Amino acid sequence: MVVNFGAGPAKLPREVLLEVQKELVEYGTNGMSVMEMSHRGSSYMKIHNDTLELARELLKVPDNYKILLMQGGGTGLFAAVAMNLIGRTGTADYLVTGSWSTKAAKEAAKYGKVNQVVPKPVKHICVPNPKEWKLDPKASYVYYCDNETIEGVEFNFVPQTNDVPLVVDMSSNIMSKPVDVKKFGVIFACAQKNIGPSGITLVIVREDLIGHHLPITPAILEFSMNAKENSIYNTPPTFIIYVMGRVFAWIKRQGGVEKMHQVALKKSNMIYEVIAKSNDFYYCPVEREVRSRMNVPFRIGGAGGNDALEKEFLKGAEALGMQQLKGHRLVGGIRASLYNAVTVEETEALRKFMLEFHTKNS
């Protein structure tokens, strides 16, 4: 077995994989695989509804919110959010803190006017001070990305919006901490970082925000159609939803999202501490208070990074079975993703290797 620090698709709990393996060919007494069942049959319907119920329970989703399972990944929701909501006033506020919120703002601009809440591009990697935000009181919604997977910036607060609905992309940190759902209009997250394989997006929408889509919205992207049809307007990725349900059950067995949060803090602090005590041998460019618990990016050999050292680090890590530590092509360097399924022991292996690598190269 390797240790998988990939950013997504990412590690799944081994327990879940073994459970899925056991049930792969014949599910329960059905005599066939989940993959082969009708998406409208009673066996699949139970899997589907159990998955939705577990999501509601784990995130304590209030009754006036619908939980939808949509296709097209996180990126599909960039369009769906705008198509479903921007028509209410024609404009939307976007808080851009990294690559994913940049993409979301660009997509939304196809369907309405996008206001950049922080007009000047930010030089360093941070969450700009709310005092500098220019929120438009007429915006249909305020959009942000809670955890920028590529840059490693994670909000440590929920933005205040004066009753303008708040939309959040939690693709890379959903179910890694408790969330006060009633503060949000829409929460969405693609599955392949923290909650399952790629192919489905979890969407939590406040009921009063359903039914305002632009007339051109494809039915498959309408919140209202998905809500009405219990997310089975067309054939959903049944197998992926089944696996996601098993991941939810695993999270529940571990002690829920509170426990996930404690472990995430512990794991990320283990790595950030090595960085902090390395005298800039390891360098994390992210402002300290908003460093991500999920994705830890760093350079080796100073702020600019030393190519040769970074290559050697990756080679040494691979030799020990630690994989997918290469930083995103946009930012370079190293990135360790420490999602829910990555264990403390695995994080310890990385911590130890970082210390040894530093000693060897100083």
Ligand X SMILES: *Cc1c(COP(=O)(O)O)cnc(C)c1O
Sort strands 3-4 and 295-300 into parallel, antiparallel or unpaired: unpaired
Residue 250 annotated as catalytic: no
Give CA–CA dist 361/354, Å, rounded: 11
Using CB positions, name the residue nearest to ligand X. Answer: 73
74 binds ligand X (CB under 6 A): yes
CB of 109 to ligand X, least distance (A): 17
Neighbours of 24 (CB within 10 A): 12
Nearer to ligand X, 231 or 278 (CB): 231
* Site for ligand X, residues 189 to 218, rule: CB under 6 A: 190, 193
269 binds ligand X (CB under 6 A): no
Residue 100 annotated as catalytic: yes
CB of 190 to ligand X, least distance (A): 4
CB of 23 to ligand X, least distance (A): 25
Of the residues 11, 66, 100, 177, only one is catalytic, namely 100
Q: Which of 140, 171, 226, 268 binds ligand X (CB under 6 A)?
A: 171
CB of 115 to ligand X, least distance (A): 20
List the alpha helices (DSSP H) in the chain.
14-23, 42-58, 73-85, 99-108, 223-228, 238-254, 256-276, 307-319, 344-360
8 binds ligand X (CB under 6 A): yes
75 binds ligand X (CB under 6 A): yes
Nearer to ligand X, 172 or 278 (CB): 172
Give CA–CA dist 292/155, Å, rounded: 8
Nearer to ligand X, 72 or 316 (CB): 72
Give CA–CA dist 293/203, Å, rounded: 22
Side-chain-side CA neighbours of residue 29 (13 Å): 1
Angle (deg, nearest 10), helices 14-23 and 238-254: 130
Of the residues 11, 66, 193, 267, only one is catalytic, namely 193
Site string for ligand X, 273-302 (x = CB under 6 A): ------------------------------
Q: Which of 125, 145, 209, 322 binds ligand X (CB under 6 A)?
A: 145
CA 335 from centre of chain: 15
Nearer to ligand X, 100 or 313 (CB): 100
Dump the DSSP string for 267-282.
HHHHHHHHHHTTTTSE
Burial class (CB in 10 A: 0-12, 13-18, 19+), 88: middle
Residues with Cβ within 8 Å of 343's Cβ and at least 6 positions away in sequence, in order, are none
CB of 302 to ligand X, least distance (A): 27
What is the identity of the amino acid at 138? Answer: K
Tokens 């695995």 belong to residue? 346
* Site for ligand X, residues 81 to 100, rule: CB under 6 A: 100
Of the residues 66, 169, 250, 267, only one is catalytic, namely 169
Residue 134 annotated as catalytic: no
CB of 280 to ligand X, least distance (A): 28
CA angle 14/17/19 to nearest 5° reads 110
CB of 169 to ligand X, least distance (A): 5
Phi, psi torsion values for 68, nearest 5 degrees = -115, 150
**Joined tokens for residue 334:** 């190293």
Nearer to ligand X, 76 or 305 (CB): 76
Nearer to ligand X, 193 or 213 (CB): 193
Nearer to ligand X, 74 or 305 (CB): 74
Catalytic residues: 100, 169, 193
List of residues contacting ligand X (CB under 6 A): 8, 73-75, 100, 145, 149, 169, 171-172, 190, 193
